[in-house]
Amino acid sequence: MEQIYCDYNATTPIHPIVKERMISLMDTFGNPASIHGIGQEAERVLVESKEVIAEFLNCSPENLIFTSGGTESNNTVLFQLLAEKISNKPERKLICSEIEHSSISEYSTFLKKSGIEVVYIPVDPQGFVNLEELQKEITKNSLVSIIWANNEIGTIQNIEKISEIVKDAGAELHVDATQALGKVAIDLSSLHIHWLTATAHKIYGPRGIGLLYRRAYTRFAPMLIGGGQQEDQRAGTENHLLMAGFAEAINQRKVEMAEESIRLRSLKTKLINEIISRFEFAQINGPIDERGLAGTINVTFHGVENEMLLLYLDMAGISISTGSACSSRTFKASRVLNAIGRSDLEAFSSVRISLGRESTETHVDRLVEKLSEIIGRIRKE
């Protein structure tokens, strides 16, 4: 039985060319911090990797910090507020949306308990940040943290407009681009962004490697210290093998991104049309047009418990999810779906289908067929 993977927002298979690149470097084992030739060979891989990614983002390589992934990158940005408080510097407040990734939302709760002011900006029924509320709340001492593309419902925020609001207020902006990188055009030279975070395993690269963009002269306190690596911005021996994999994944995005986006949007439209026509009790969550990610579909099947649906689909060889993989093991209603107006009951009847580079029309047809079969069975039970 062919396995059909429809959970690309959770993680992606490593691109064959990325795998080849990493295998070719397996014998490059030196420590990049060593001054001998073997160490400098690894250092060259590190430098070249930064240059590739910096070109893609249109920024300077000196502005990039490699991390262990999106969670560490996001935590590092919010850690700045805690470090400033500990250092008795003038306190700032955090402003974020109600639909941030858990690495932001849970850290913001921690900051709030630590005495830092945190403000949550509501979103509309499609998941777009209320810009009027943002303008009301923002002050010069604010750090605004907004997810570029939501991992559950696919909403793509108007980062250009948000960056203008932040610039006019003289505040700082952090953008979580974990789901946007490689799917949405990013030009850091034209946006008022102080921090940007992303990870490799969402774009067919290896797990365990992420990045943090830090705008020049933005004040910074490292979260990991001791060793002096990466210009004292993140301690720890650099994993040049993972960095090379990240860079090669970016190279492949340059080649494949545009065509893949068109193809995935066509598959998404086909899938949504099939769902709407077959299930009168189905409700699509998030934008279905270009304002949403090309391969992300979130749907509520009223009266169908999502965990049971996932179990039956998995038995049929089809992998989808209930939402964020980082929260899938917690028995709580999705914060994102609650934020756009879905009840807890509706959230527990919702699933996320995310398509990727290996998805085909045949996969969509099989998914729809199995959905019809399994949902019909569940609703009769």
**Tens-place pLDDT, residues 260-291:** 999 999 999 999 999 999 999 999 999 999 99
Q: Tens digit of pLDDT for each residue in 34-65? A: 999 999 999 999 999 999 999 999 999 999 99
All structural domains of the chain, each given as residue ranges with its CATH number in brackets, are 4-12+256-380 (3.90.1150.10), 16-252 (3.40.640.10)
Nearest to 33 by CA among 243, 228, 241, 222: 228
* Strand 118-121 to 282-285 pairing: unpaired
User: What mean pLDDT do residues 87-93 have?
Assistant: 88
pTM of the entire structure? 0.95
In angstroms, rounded to a whole number, what is the distance separating the alpha carbons of residues 36 and 1?
A: 52
Q: What share of the chain is helix, strand, coil (3-state, %, to 5)?
A: 45, 15, 40
Which neighbouring-strand residues pair with 195? 174, 214
Query: Would you say the C-alpha torsion 150, 154, 160, 161 has a positive or negative sign?
Result: negative
* For residue 303, pLDDT beyond 70: yes
User: Which tokens belong to 338?
Assistant: 């609650």
CB 101 within 8 A of CB 147: yes
**Mean pLDDT for the chain?**
95
User: What mean pLDDT do residues 87-110 have?
Assistant: 94
**pLDDT (0 to 100) of residue 380:** 75
**pLDDT (0 to 100) of residue 90:** 85
**pLDDT (0 to 100) of residue 379:** 84
Q: Which of 6, 59, 96, 326 is catalytic?
A: 326
Give 325's pLDDT tier (boundaries 50, 70, 90). low
* For residue 239, pLDDT beyond 80: yes
Check if 6 is active-site. Answer: no
In angstroms, rounded to a whole number, what is the distance separating the alpha carbons of residues 240 and 235?
A: 14
CA atoms within 13 A on the CB side of 322: 23
**pLDDT (0 to 100) of residue 135:** 97
Give 327's pLDDT tier (boundaries 50, 70, 90). low
In angstroms, rounded to a whole number, what is the distance separating the alpha carbons of residues 291 and 183?
A: 12
* For residue 196, pLDDT beyond 60: yes
In angstroms, rounded to a whole number, what is the distance separating the alpha carbons of residues 165 and 182?
A: 25
Q: Tens digit of pLDDT for each residue in 125-178? A: 999 999 999 999 999 999 999 999 999 999 999 999 999 999 999 999 999 999
In angstroms, rounded to a whole number, what is the distance separating the alpha carbons of residues 324 and 338?
A: 14
**pLDDT (0 to 100) of residue 363:** 97
Q: Tens digit of pLDDT for each residue in 358-375? A: 999 999 999 999 999 999
What percent of the chain stands above pLDDT 90?
93
